């Protein structure tokens, strides 16, 4: 890429510190920090409070003090629709089958969203199952939404509550190992995202992030004005390993 306009490299400090043999205590003086200068992002809509990457999570997140940006992940369905999901399959950790049965870790990747229609995807309950480590998360029966439905629902809710329209940080979930298996190739994936951002009129308040530099290159080649962010190398390798395994 000749003209890389990445807005930042997102470093996983927790992962990095976990790789160190010695950890030193450190403190940060927040006394004079202006909280309004920070881009507070609700990760997956605020996973600790509501089911991750769901409309209830995103609509609740926009009511939180200081939250400016909704961070979310997108994958692609069999019918080429952008679906908001952290994994391109039905995770055994958060989802139940249409008949409310548990999904085993061994079978989750067989429930490949790229091989499922939107109708099939929305039959899964990804909000009722208790999630380890998040005791305060509200449980409710809800499904994985489309990107379009998230943007429209959040926009309508913010307007109803006289709240500022949020910004969006959209992560393209892809890796070389997943091409044409769990998602389309980067050029096609980027095209779907760019078309959606333009159709939904959120381009001016959207950034695109990814572990996959190819995805960001494809976005940049098709629209050099979109803001981009690349994840740090250790996380790129970790995500690729998930696909391989």
Q: How confident is the model at residue 245 (pLDDT cuts 50, 70, 90)?
A: low
State the average pLDDT for the chain: 87
What is the C-alpha separation between 40 and 66, in angstroms, rounded?
6
What's the pLDDT score for residue 3?
A: 42
Ranking 22-31, 32-41, 188-197, 203-212 by mean pLDDT, the lowest is: 22-31
- Average pLDDT of the residues in 10-21: 34
CATH entry, 39-89+145-244, from 3.20.20.190, 3.40.50.620, 3.30.70.20, 3.30.70.1880:
3.20.20.190
- Average pLDDT of the residues in 19-24: 42
Paired with 109 in beta bridges are none
Could you tell me the residue ranges of all domains in the chain? 39-89+145-244
What is the C-alpha separation between 126 and 54, in angstroms, rounded?
8
What is the C-alpha separation between 129 and 108, in angstroms, rounded?
15
What's the pLDDT score for residue 37?
A: 79
Contact in structure between 129 and 52 (CB atoms under 8 Å): no
pLDDT: which is higher, 245 or 211: 211
Q: How confident is the model at residue 2 (pLDDT cuts 50, 70, 90)?
A: very low
- Average pLDDT of the residues in 175-191: 97
What is the C-alpha separation between 53 and 42, in angstroms, rounded?
10
């Amino acid at each position: 890429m000749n003209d890389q306009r990445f807005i930042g490299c997102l470093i996983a400090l927790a992962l990095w510190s976990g790789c160190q043999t010695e950890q030193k205590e450190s403190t940060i003086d927040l006394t004079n920090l202006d909280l309004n200068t920070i881009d507070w992002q609700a990760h997956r809509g605020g996973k600790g409070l509501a089911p991750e990457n769901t409309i209830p999570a995103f609509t609740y997140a926009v009511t939180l003090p200081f939250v400016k940006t909704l961070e979310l992940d997108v994958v692609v369905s069999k019918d080429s629709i952008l679906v908001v999901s952290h994994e391109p399959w039905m995770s055994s950790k958060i989802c139940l089958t249409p008949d409310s049965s548990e999904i085993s870790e061994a079978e989750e990747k067989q429930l490949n969203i790229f091989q499922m229609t939107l109708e099939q995807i929305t039959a899964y309950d990804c909000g009722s199952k208790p999630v380890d480590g998040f005791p305060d998360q509200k449980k409710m029966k809800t499904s994985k939404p489309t990107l379009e439905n998230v943007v429209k629902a959040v926009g309508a809710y913010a307007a109803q509550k006289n709240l500022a329209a949020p910004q969006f940080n959209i992560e393209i979930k892809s890796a070389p190992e997943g091409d044409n298996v769990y998602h389309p190739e980067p050029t096609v994936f980027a095209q779907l995202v760019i078309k959606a951002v333009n159709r939904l009129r959120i381009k001016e308040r959207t950034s695109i992030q990814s572990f996959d530099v190819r995805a960001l290159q494809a976005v940049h080649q098709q629209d050099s004005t979109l803001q981009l962010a690349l994840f740090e190398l250790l996380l790129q390798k970790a995500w690729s390993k998930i696909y391989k395994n």
